[in-house]
Amino acid sequence: MYFKIHESKYGLMVAACDENLSGKHMKFKKIDFFVNPRFYGDEHIGKQALINLLRTASSCNLVGKEAVECGIESGLVEKQNIIKIGKVPHAQGVVIFH
């Protein structure tokens, strides 16, 4: 997988995508989705390292089966928040402070 950390005043946002999706355009109905390497990064990361990183993040944007599974395992993504772009899963997760 590829990843990139984006820092903001709200904390760390981790973007990650499955390696085979980086740079791809996906179309489904009216959705035209580009998995932009500038956003999702070009640095490799393994499954457990991504899960650990997501546990420290305040939000995430994940594309691809492997990346989304890491989001679920980290607790940042809930299954009901996963959408499909064609057959490719996409999820965004946010830590909600009470």
Which pLDDT tens digit goes with each residue over 34-53? 999 999 999 999 999 999 99
- Locate 96 and state its tokens: 């909600």
What is the structure's pLDDT at 98?
38
Q: 3-class SS at 89?
A: strand
Domains of the chain (ranges; CATH) run: 2-94 (3.30.1860.10)
Judge whether residue 96 has pLDDT over 80: no
* Model confidence, pTM: 0.92
Question: What SS3 class is residue 54?
Answer: helix
Compute CA 61 distance to the chain's CA centroid, rounded to the nearest angstrom: 3
Residue from 38, 63, 37, 31 nearest 50 by CA:
63
Question: Which helix (H) or strand (E) segment is 66 a member of?
Answer: helix 65-74
Q: What is the amino acid identity at position 75? A: G
User: What is the torsion angle, in degrees rounded to the nearest 10, for the CA atoms of residue 47, residue 59, residue 41 and residue 74?
Assistant: 0
CB atoms within 10 A of CB 31: 12
